[in-house]
Amino acid sequence: MDGILPVYKPVGMTSADVVAKCRWLLHMRRIGHSGTLDPSVDGVLPLALGAATKAVPALMTLGKTYTGEITLGFATETEDLDGAEIERIRLETPFSTEAIDQAMAKLTGEIIQIPPMYSAVKVNGRRLYQYARAGETVERPQRHAHIYAFARTEAPVFAAADGVQTIRFTAQVSKGTYIRTLAVDVGRQLGGPAVMSQLTRIASGGFTLDQTLDLRPLTQETAPAAAAAHLRPIEYAYPDLPQVALTEAQYQAVLNGKWLTLNETAPRLALFAEGVLKAVYRAENGIYRPDVMFLANAGAVKEE
């Protein structure tokens, strides 16, 4: 079973938990995912099955879309509600809608983020969350992210009794973007603490929530048919690549990892044999060479 399976990750499960459950349900070991979701976040989690695991880097470039909530008035060590509170400033009056919109607009486009201490980013061979749990501090690397869209979805809500204000939002972002940090940066733009108080990923890897498979009600008896109905071919990870049908001679050359001379001009091509994606080749000095191989004997070929 090779392909891409868009599944629903519920709150309370890690992405690794979802992969483990899918392996158990389908009796498969070769399964990966294309972008971690924190346990408190639900939504779309595309899984790569079998040979499709080599397409994970391509899936991750397709961007992600979220809906969620930002709460203004306090901050936590993890930038979401999972961590201990580290700051609180009671809001006596709400921020204006105009000020909130301006703050979100400033965080749209190409931005630089500092990843949260409670994240999996590696510094000197250790994860940032390992430093955080040990009470250690370390200089965090800057990361570039592109925010394609970031806006309110409804009027902000001010809770005078609690001294906080909430903002419902939608965000369409590039890979590597921390929505938690985006929420904190909204507060920073407004001059106060903030936290991401809820998040759902509604699209990832070209899939939307209504296309996902919920693994929770499935058994080992029902899962194979349900997965087959939701499984998509590997080429879903390469929606913009021109597709080339190989001749038998060309296919034999691809099987041996050979370069090809093709009457094409695109920088990368998706190569098919008998309607099945076999490889992605890239142009180099007028000749196409292997980039990503989806063949059983292609383990030594460089992957993307």
Catalytic residue among 2, 17, 38, 42: 38
SS3 97: helix
31-33 and 42-49 strand pairing: antiparallel
Distance CA 7, CA 211 (A): 8
194-204 and 207-208 strand pairing: antiparallel
Distance CA 23, CA 42 (A): 20
Distance CA 37, CA 16 (A): 9
C-alpha pair distances (Å), 54 with each of 58, 176, 290: 9, 19, 13
Element spanning 72, H or E: strand 64-72
Tell me if residue 38 is catalytic.
yes
Distance CA 97, CA 115 (A): 27
Note the maximum CA span of the chain: 74
Distance CA 115, CA 145 (A): 11
Distance CA 20, CA 96 (A): 46
Element spanning 16, H or E: helix 15-26
Question: Pick from 71, 94, 47, 60: which is nearest to 227 by CA?
Answer: 47
Q: How many residues appear in the chain?
A: 304
DSSP code for 99: H
SS3 131: helix
- Spatial contact of 77 and 196, defined as CB atoms under 8 Å apart: no
Q: Which residues are catalytic?
A: 38
